[in-house]
Structure 1
Amino acid sequence: MVEEGQVLSIAHTIQLAVAPVFLLAGIGSMLGVLTNRMARVIDKARKLEERVPPPSDPATPDIARDAELGVLARRARYLQLAIGACVGCALLVALVVVILFISAVLDLNAFAVVAMLFIAAMLAFIFGLLCFMREIHLGLIHLRIGPRPRV
């Protein structure tokens, strides 16, 4: 039979787990933004690569296109790092929730483990945000509005 203390312990654990679950929702939204940006970078790179002359055509290389592809590759790399960091953050937060429940059920003191996992999750999220910010910076410094100069 379930004792009243056990019910209160589980109820308290659920209260503690609510904040990390909301955090997971925010991380999920961030991952949506990052994957949309990655899709746009990939689409733009594919359009630029379509302009590549066939190997039998000894045309001069398109230096502007190659430079833009290089920037897109760097942006994709930063987005990949940001996505990886945010996924790592989400996994760590989910692990925090699991450990909270395991510690409540088994009546363990997992304070230090939960604290370390949460700190690691926040560090991963900070790293992901910094990578995202760098990708945005790269996109803006290479932004070209208006007609391209004729060569």
Structure 2
Amino acid sequence: MVLDPTDISVSTVAQVIQLAVAPVFLLAGIGAFLNVCAGRLSRIVDRARNIEPLLLASRGAEHARRLQEIRTLDRRMGMVSWAIFFSVLAAVMICIVVILLFAATLTGAHSGTAVALLFIGTMASIGLGFSVFLLETRVGSRAVRIRTEILEHMEEQRDADGGG
């Protein structure tokens, strides 16, 4: 049964809007997460750009260390990009859920199964995005540890200065 759009009451539209509010809040959360990811990606890219000329000018152990750092940065860029991809995919699916909710009201179509499956897909996609982001933060935190030779040098310097 197809409903005439002029026959739909304001209360019916209000009910559909109430149903659509939760997915719209989810969109706001995904947007905030995307903002975090974009900021993180920007900082990683900036760091990689700073390392590139230093890598080209370095030799020996310093070159190997900078090469390892740039490889780690490249890996992290890829991981953040995947987190962004899964998050945007989740946002697109949420938009489709909201569209289906309104379209089903207007047309009288039975789209409950499609809405449920899309919402499950949304949760899976955002879960994957969060998981990849978690892995990237772990890789990033391991990459920024202070090297032992720096720590030992600091200790040697403190001993030489007679401090404790």
Match of 1:124 in 2: 125
What is the Cα deviation at residue 95 of structure 1? 0.6
**8 Å Cα contact 2:55/2:67 also seen in 1:** no
What is the Cα deviation at residue 147 of structure 1? 8.9
Q: Distance in 2 between matches of 1:52 and 1:73?
A: 14
Residues 58-137 of structure 1 mapped to structure 2, 5 A cutoff:
59-60=59-60, 62-137=63-138
Unaligned regions of 5+ residues in structure 2, if any?
154-164
Q: Which has the higher helix share?
A: 2
Moved over 6 A (4+): none
What is the Cα deviation at residue 83 of structure 1? 0.2
Q: Distance in 2 between matches of 1:106 and 1:2?
A: 12
Structure of higher CA gyration radius: 2
What is the Cα deviation at residue 148 of structure 1? 6.0
**8 Å Cα contact 1:17/1:100 also seen in 2:** yes
Q: Distance in 1 between matches of 2:131 and 2:145?
A: 24
Structure 2 residue 11 is the aligned partner of structure 1 residue 8: yes
Cα displacement string for residues 123-150 of structure 1 (whole angstroms, at most 9, x for unaligned residues): 0000000000000000111222489638
Distance 1:42 1:102, change over 3 A: same
Structure 2 residue 72 is the aligned partner of structure 1 residue 42: no
Where 2:55 maps in the other structure, the secondary structure is coil
The one-letter amino acid paired with 1:45 is: A
Match of 1:26 in 2: 29
Q: Distance in 2 between matches of 1:6 and 1:148?
A: 73
What is the Cα deviation at residue 108 of structure 1? 1.3
Unaligned regions of 5+ residues in structure 1, if any?
none
Q: Distance in 2 between matches of 1:148 and 1:50?
A: 23
**8 Å Cα contact 1:88/1:124 also seen in 2:** yes
The one-letter amino acid paired with 1:67 is: Q
Aligned residues: 146
Structure 2 residue 39 is the aligned partner of structure 1 residue 51: no
**8 Å Cα contact 1:10/1:105 also seen in 2:** no
Cα displacement string for residues 84-138 of structure 1 (whole angstroms, at most 9, x for unaligned residues): 0000000000110001000011111110000000000010000000000000000
What is the Cα deviation at residue 30 of structure 1? 0.2
Identity of aligned residues (%): 34
- Scaled by the length of structure 1, the TM-score of the pair is 0.88
